[in-house]
Structure 1
Amino acid sequence: MKNIRNFCVIAHIDHGKSTLSDRLLDFTQSVGEREKMDQQLDDMDLERERGITIKSHAIQMHYPHTDGEMYTFNMIDTPGHVDFSYEVSRSIAACEGALLLVDATQGIQAQTISNLFLALEHDLEIIPVLNKVDMETAMIEEMADQMIDLTGCDREDIILASGKTGIGVPEIMKAVVERIPAPKGDPEAPLQALIFDSVFNPFRGVIAYVRVMNGVLRKNDNLRFIATKSVYEANEVGAMEITPKPQPQIECGSVGYIVTGLKTSSEIKVGDTVTLDDRPGERLGGFEEVKPMVFAGIFPLDNDDFEPLRDSLEKLQLNDASLVFEPETSAALGYGFRCGFLGMLHLEIVQERLFREFNMDVITTVPNVTYRVTDTKGNVTEIRNPADLPDVNHRAMVEEPMITAQIITTTEYIGSIMTLCIDKRGTLTKQTYLSPERVELHFILPLAEIVFDFYDRLKSISRGYASFDYQPKDYQETDLVRMDIKLNGENVDALSALVHRSKAEYIGRGMCKKLRELLPRQQFMIAIQAAIGAKVIARETLSAMRKDVTAKCYGGDISRKRKLLEKQKAGKRKMRQFGKVEVPQKAFLDVLKLD
């Protein structure tokens, strides 16, 4: 155990975690020349296309130190985006140390601070690393001073590195051995192993990734999963190298995988404790429960695909523990699921993964957050669906969730960022200058206001120089209304939304305009309306496609043309009575991206 080191790599998005991880793999020769590629640990096509890490990735490396000992490193590369912070918290729970990366060209960002505090809560040993020092725009001394202010470390503790050229990699490996403590645990105690991730393999069933806290996990052991009370045999255990490496046992303090042949995904829960059936240990403290921020309905295009969609979501949940879902029905869309996400990027990624990995075409409804409604009798209920909002006569109060937002930016963008946050019903609570050019702003904002386009607008007004992080706060009373979108007088269930009364007209106009651009023209005129109850607050008209019925009239009296036009008009009116407007799938997502 004294030669094992468990650590993770944490940083803000795009600060070079995956590139530096590639260099560490090269240095320890963990990857053969033929398998070598950029973003080695990002095994999803989606991650490579977008250039971001979506999933945490654990890997085992072997490092011969200068003291002549061979050390085993279990490293976890984590995502940097705020929507995947649950992945980071789970990775931190399985480690004793963390490499805190800061980009020498950008400095400390909001997610850097958030991840650092998360690591300190778990008493992790922090190794500060200043990355991208080889770039011409690197401000090494200024950024080093920022890191000293933030972490309280000494100047000589900071390692200067470059994921691109490999500068500082030997120093990082040496620091991991010397600064990060070896795992604690009793190999003789009853087995206690924490499941920190899992994945579904169609041939081998569920594969669980575990960190052994006490005892030893051996092949062919009868294992009990404490939360689900199920018992299975360990068909295979091993180490997580570039290709899984079967071993006779996973030592105390180490990280590895278990294959049980289990086919039902609900039998394994991330955060559960694995122990021996004949000599059970106590349950370990898992991770804090995930708190979804954004809720949206996901419905199959064809109602027959409801059960396959359930299976797909269960298998996806194994690999993405922050996804939560429950069945729901909609008058327009039939049977589907109300899903909870950590943010809009998370929603987009889940939808994309459902299509790519499970070939599921789905319709996503307007995302919204959880509101609390107190009725006239004093009962409090949580609502996540616009259809559940009671009538005005039956509700005494509606409360919406608030967040504390932390924005770090350069001084030239303070004015435009404050305007954006105040426009989103935000209140400035604190303003701190980290340096003469960089400022940290704290706002209290309604969560509903940041769901749609806040992050995109923040990035565009600050030209990418603002970073954003948030934590849930509490609930606050609000004036909430349900806004319906009607096509030719018929409600479109999937586009109903819960909005603040002051924003209803702006959002309604925007959605109607967008729908007018997105909907295909029909043989009849389509009225697109936004309404609160019986009151229409915005309207757009999509004109009909029209055939030139007068083309065959070459002169003659005008009454001949008028007669043909009247006949066409009557036909259009009849068609409008019976015609049904189909909303294309692309329109459901695009209509949410209001400018």
Structure 2
Amino acid sequence: MKNIRNFCIIAHIDHGKSTLADRLLERTGTISEREMQEQVLDDMDLERERGITIKSHAIRMDYNRPNGEVVTFNLIDTPGHVDFSYEVSRALKACEGALLVVDAAQGIEAQTISNLYQAIDQELEIIPVLNKIDLPGADPDGVGQQIVDLIGGTKEEILQVSGKTGEGVEDLLEAIVERIPSPKQEVDKPLKALIFDSIFNSYRGSICYVRVMEGVLKKGDGITFMATKKEYDAEEIGYLKLKKEKTDQLEAGEVGYVIGSVKSLQDAKVGDTITSTKNKADTPIPGYKEVKPMVFSGIFPTNSEDFEDLRGALEKLQLNDASLSYQPETSKALGFGFRAGFLGLLHMEIIQERLDREFDMDIITTVPNVRYEIDLEDGERIKVDNPSEMPEVGKIADVWEPYIKASILTPADYIGPIMTLCEERRGKYVNQHFMQNNRVEITYELPMAEVVFDFYDRLKSGTRGYASLDYEFLEYRKGDLVRLDILLNGDQVDALSSITHRDKAYYLGRKICGKLKELIPRQQFEVAVQAAIGSRVIARDTIRALKKDVTAKCYGGDISRKRKLIEKQKEGKKRMKQVGSVEIPQEAFLAVLSMDEED
């Protein structure tokens, strides 16, 4: 055990975590030059293009020290984005130490801090690392001081490396051996293994990536998943090198994989504890929770015949992303589709992108919204994540909406625009904390619904890309929220309904009516576009009817002849309005759904 080190890398998006992992793989001889490519551990095209880690990875490396000793490293990679913070917490639980990687040019960012606090809570040994010191804009002294202010210690303890050139990597490898403690030797206790990730293989079922905390896991043993109470046999176990390497047993402190013909990802949930069926552990490893979606959106195929293909695509995506949830729904305007739940906005964006790339699906997504809790007059409490399910105004006693605590890190020059943006979004100021190098951490409590639309884009554009955002769920709070309906000729268009704050309803209703008036083609009859709260119309626009010049054939003659023809046309238009229906073109939907606050 004394020759094993389990560690992870904590870093903000684009601070060079995957590139540094490449250098570690090279220096330990885990990967040959022929197999080498950039970002080896990011195996999805999307991950490479965006420079982010979406799925966490784990890899085992053998490091030959200069004194001839061989030390086994288990690098448990973590996703960097706020949406995947639960996966990060499970990966940290599987480690004894963490490398805190900070870009020497950009400095500390919000998500680095949030993941760092999680690591400190789990009492991990932190090794601070300044990366990208080869860049012309690098400021090792200034950023080093930021790290010292954040975690204490001295500047001399901070390692300086370059993931690109490999400079300083040898010192880093030695620091991992010397500073990170080896795992505890707890082989005599009943088996407890933490699932920190799982992937689905269509031939073998769910493959669980585990860290054995206590006891020994042997090939062929009966195993039980403690959260789901499912029982299987460990048909194959092994180590996670670049390719899976079989072994007969995994002991406490080791990291590896387990295959047991687990039919679905729902049985092998991230954070669950595996124990032996014969000699069960009394308590699971603490910290397991069901991953709850925070953002909901309707996904509809542009061509209604593709509904079954869309169902198949979502099923396949759910196999390697258990945090995606969906259920069928129908909309009068958009036809058959699904209501999908996501961890956050980035997660939603990635699923949409994967549907397009991997399955070639053309889809329309409705405006993202959050889940509300509604107290009815009869005392019942219901949960609503689709505006069209919200009960009538008279039946509602109170509406509760989710709030988040947002931490925004920014250069001090941009405090004004950020505070203005948060106040516009009904934010409640908590505090601000000044750091080194003219940087400030501003904390606000914000309604989640105000963040899911375009808050992040506005934050980035208002601060020239310098600000970074991290958030965590706080609680549900009572709010004055209403359902805003859009009516065409008195008929409700369910796909355009939204739940909004009463103070913003009029402004939003006016804007949507104006947009639809521009985009819906004129009909043979007059069309009323209305925005309503319950039965009260709060905004209206009218699309004029197309009219034929029926008086063109009257040359001169009495005015009453012309009036008679015009009245006859009016009657015809009125009859047509009663039977005519308005088709909303696809572009109008897309324009309203992607309409931002400042249009």
Please, what TM-score do these two structures have when normalized by structure 2?
A: 0.88
8 Å contact from structure 1 (residues 333, 494) kept in 2? yes
Separation (CA, whole Å) in 2 of partners of 1:465 and 1:402: 25
Structure 1 residue 358 displacement after superposition = 5.2
Separation (CA, whole Å) in 2 of partners of 1:357 and 1:308: 12
Q: Deviations over 1:116-172 (max 9, x none)?
A: 111111111111111111111111111111101101122221111112211221121
Separation (CA, whole Å) in 1 of partners of 2:118 and 2:335: 41
Aligned to 2:495: 494
Pair 1:530 & 2:539 matched: no
Separation (CA, whole Å) in 1 of partners of 2:526 and 2:119: 59
Q: Which amino acid aligns with 1:245?
A: E
Specify the SS of the correspondent of 2:266.
Answer: helix
Separation (CA, whole Å) in 2 of partners of 1:65 and 1:524: 83
Structure 1 residue 380 displacement after superposition = 3.5
Aligned to 1:435: 436
Does 41-50 or 282-291 show the bigger shift? 282-291
8 Å contact from structure 1 (residues 484, 495) kept in 2? yes
Separation (CA, whole Å) in 2 of partners of 1:43 and 1:319: 13
Structure 1 72/315 Cα, relative in aligned 2: closer, same or farther at 3 Å? farther
Q: What 5-or-longer segments of structure 1 have no aligned partner?
A: none
Pair 1:412 & 2:413 matched: yes
Aligned to 1:86: 86
Separation (CA, whole Å) in 2 of partners of 1:485 and 1:510: 11
Separation (CA, whole Å) in 1 of partners of 2:572 and 2:39: 61
Q: Which amino acid aligns with 1:591?
A: L
8 Å contact from structure 2 (residues 313, 355) kept in 1? yes
Structure 1 249/549 Cα, relative in aligned 2: closer, same or farther at 3 Å? farther
State how 1:110-189 maps to structure 2 within 5 Å: 110-189=110-189
Structure 1 residue 517 displacement after superposition = 6.5
Separation (CA, whole Å) in 2 of partners of 1:174 and 1:523: 79
Aligned to 2:243: 243
Separation (CA, whole Å) in 2 of partners of 1:290 and 1:585: 35
Structure 1 residue 216 displacement after superposition = 2.5
8 Å contact from structure 1 (residues 363, 585) kept in 2? no
Specify the SS of the correspondent of 1:402.
Answer: strand
Structure 1 378/23 Cα, relative in aligned 2: closer, same or farther at 3 Å? same
Structure 1 228/379 Cα, relative in aligned 2: closer, same or farther at 3 Å? closer
Does 319-328 or 420-429 show the bigger shift? 319-328
Does 515-524 or 467-476 show the bigger shift? 515-524
Q: Deviations over 1:50-76 (max 9, x none)?
A: 222211111111111233221111112
Separation (CA, whole Å) in 1 of partners of 2:534 and 2:109: 44
Specify the SS of the correspondent of 1:267.
Answer: coil
Separation (CA, whole Å) in 1 of partners of 2:542 and 2:160: 61
Separation (CA, whole Å) in 1 of partners of 2:215 and 2:429: 51
Aligned to 1:591: 593
Pair 1:19 & 2:19 matched: yes
Structure 1 503/556 Cα, relative in aligned 2: closer, same or farther at 3 Å? closer
Pair 1:296 & 2:297 matched: yes
Structure 1 205/27 Cα, relative in aligned 2: closer, same or farther at 3 Å? same
Q: Which amino acid aligns with 2:586?
A: P
Q: Deviations over 1:249-306 (max 9, x none)?
A: 3332111112223333333222222223333333322434434322223456678877
8 Å contact from structure 2 (residues 16, 163) kept in 1? yes
Aligned to 2:371: 370
Pair 1:212 & 2:209 matched: no
Q: Which amino acid aligns with 2:431?
A: K
Pair 1:224 & 2:224 matched: yes
Separation (CA, whole Å) in 1 of partners of 2:566 and 2:164: 71
Aligned to 1:447: 448
Aligned to 2:474: 473
Aligned to 1:103: 103
Q: Which amino acid aligns with 1:490?
A: D
Specify the SS of the correspondent of 1:459.
Answer: helix
Specify the SS of the correspondent of 2:261.
Answer: coil
8 Å contact from structure 1 (residues 325, 339) kept in 2? yes
Does 385-394 or 297-306 show the bigger shift? 297-306
Q: Which amino acid aligns with 2:460?
A: K
Q: Which amino acid aligns with 1:13?
A: I
Separation (CA, whole Å) in 2 of partners of 1:42 and 1:92: 19
8 Å contact from structure 2 (residues 215, 252) kept in 1? yes
8 Å contact from structure 2 (residues 87, 196) kept in 1? no
State how 1:38-57 maps to structure 2 within 5 Å: 38-57=38-57
Query: What RMSD, in angstroms, separates the aligned Cα atoms of the two structures?
Result: 3.4
Specify the SS of the correspondent of 1:266.
Answer: coil
Structure 1 residue 591 displacement after superposition = 1.8
Specify the SS of the correspondent of 1:128.
Answer: strand
8 Å contact from structure 1 (residues 366, 496) kept in 2? no
Q: Deviations over 1:391-416 (max 9, x none)?
A: 33333322322222211111211111
Separation (CA, whole Å) in 2 of partners of 1:521 and 1:179: 73
Structure 1 residue 492 displacement after superposition = 2.3
Specify the SS of the correspondent of 1:261.
Answer: strand
Separation (CA, whole Å) in 2 of partners of 1:547 and 1:164: 69
Q: Deviations over 1:51-110 (max 9, x none)?
A: 222111111111112332211111122222222222212211211111111111121111
8 Å contact from structure 2 (residues 512, 592) kept in 1? no
8 Å contact from structure 1 (residues 404, 444) kept in 2? yes
Separation (CA, whole Å) in 2 of partners of 1:420 and 1:440: 15
Separation (CA, whole Å) in 2 of partners of 1:400 and 1:214: 42
Structure 1 436/194 Cα, relative in aligned 2: closer, same or farther at 3 Å? closer
Aligned to 1:197: 197
Separation (CA, whole Å) in 1 of partners of 2:529 and 2:472: 37
Structure 1 43/263 Cα, relative in aligned 2: closer, same or farther at 3 Å? same
Specify the SS of the correspondent of 2:478.
Answer: strand
Aligned to 2:274: 274
Structure 1 residue 521 displacement after superposition = 7.8
Aligned to 1:59: 59
8 Å contact from structure 1 (residues 303, 334) kept in 2? yes
Separation (CA, whole Å) in 2 of partners of 1:571 and 1:174: 88
Separation (CA, whole Å) in 1 of partners of 2:522 and 2:211: 58
Aligned to 2:403: 402
Structure 1 residue 587 displacement after superposition = 3.8
Aligned to 1:388: 389
Specify the SS of the correspondent of 2:382.
Answer: strand
Q: Which amino acid aligns with 1:376?
A: E
Q: Which amino acid aligns with 1:581?
A: E
Structure 1 residue 232 displacement after superposition = 2.3
Separation (CA, whole Å) in 2 of partners of 1:510 and 1:245: 60
Aligned to 1:343: 344
Aligned to 1:285: 286
Please, what TM-score do these two structures have when normalized by structure 1?
A: 0.88
Aligned to 1:260: 260
Structure 1 429/34 Cα, relative in aligned 2: closer, same or farther at 3 Å? same
Q: Which amino acid aligns with 1:532?
A: I
Q: What 5-or-longer segments of structure 2 have no aligned partner?
A: none
Does 374-383 or 50-59 show the bigger shift? 374-383
Q: Which amino acid aligns with 1:398?
A: V
Does 489-498 or 131-140 show the bigger shift? 489-498
8 Å contact from structure 1 (residues 185, 213) kept in 2? no
Identical-pair percentage = 56
Q: Which amino acid aligns with 2:178?
A: E
Separation (CA, whole Å) in 1 of partners of 2:335 and 2:447: 31
Structure 1 residue 314 displacement after superposition = 5.4
Structure 1 residue 327 displacement after superposition = 5.7
8 Å contact from structure 2 (residues 190, 280) kept in 1? yes
Separation (CA, whole Å) in 2 of partners of 1:501 and 1:118: 38
Structure 1 591/336 Cα, relative in aligned 2: closer, same or farther at 3 Å? closer
